[in-house]
């Protein structure tokens, strides 16, 4: 099992179906970093509590709003114009890199908050993903697919 959230996120995102599932949930208003954190907490068997979920949301919400979303918006605005302007395309790639760095920083902040919580709980820990996803994503195929990818990653790690 990956002990740090960043490497867990990279490994999960690389699993078949995970990227599409994350982007589908993001399109429904979900925060991909919170979803990846949820799967990491589940893999570490950290007990869910609404207080803990609120602590994570309090970190993620402002960072997404103030840092990640503006970078993503700019990158998306430049998608079409950058196809015809190589200089703009290069700038767009730099913005994309900044967006990734901003998400990496958010994952670090979420990890710092969550690593103080005990792991290895014998209580059910599968509520993290449902509780950190937007309501409209609960029960949606995208969330199911992310759960399947996370389970497959866990099985691969346990078998290694």
Quote the pLDDT of residue 1.
56
Query: pLDDT of 89-128, one tens digit each?
Result: 999 999 999 999 999 999 999 999 999 999 888 876 668 9
**Token couple for 57:** 């949301």
| pLDDT at residue 2, as a whole number | 60
The alpha carbon of 17 is separated from its chain's Cα centroid by a whole number of angstroms, namely 14
Listed residue (137, 129, 108) closest to 30, CA to CA: 137
pTM (two decimals): 0.92
Residue 69 binned pLDDT confidence (cut-offs 50, 70, 90) = very high
**Chain centre distance of CA 65:** 15
């Amino acid at each position: 099992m990956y002990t740090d959230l960043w490497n867990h996120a990279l490994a999960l995102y690389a699993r078949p179906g995970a990227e599409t599932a994350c982007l589908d949930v993001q399109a429904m208003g979900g925060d991909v970093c919170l979803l990846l954190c949820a799967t990491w907490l589940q893999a570490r068997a950290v007990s869910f509590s609404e207080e803990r979920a609120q602590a994570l949301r309090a970190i993620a919400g402002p960072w997404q709003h103030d840092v990640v979303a503006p970078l993503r918006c700019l990158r998306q605005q430049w998608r079409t114009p950058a196809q015809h302007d190589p200089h703009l395309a290069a700038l767009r790639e730099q913005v994309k890199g900044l967006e990734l760095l901003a998400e990496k920083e958010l994952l670090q902040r979420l990890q710092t908050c969550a690593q103080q919580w005990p792991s290895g709980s014998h209580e059910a820990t599968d509520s993290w993903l449902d509780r950190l996803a937007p309501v409209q994503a609960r029960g949606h195929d995208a969330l199911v697919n992310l759960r399947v990818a996370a389970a497959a990653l866990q099985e691969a790690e346990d078998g290694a």
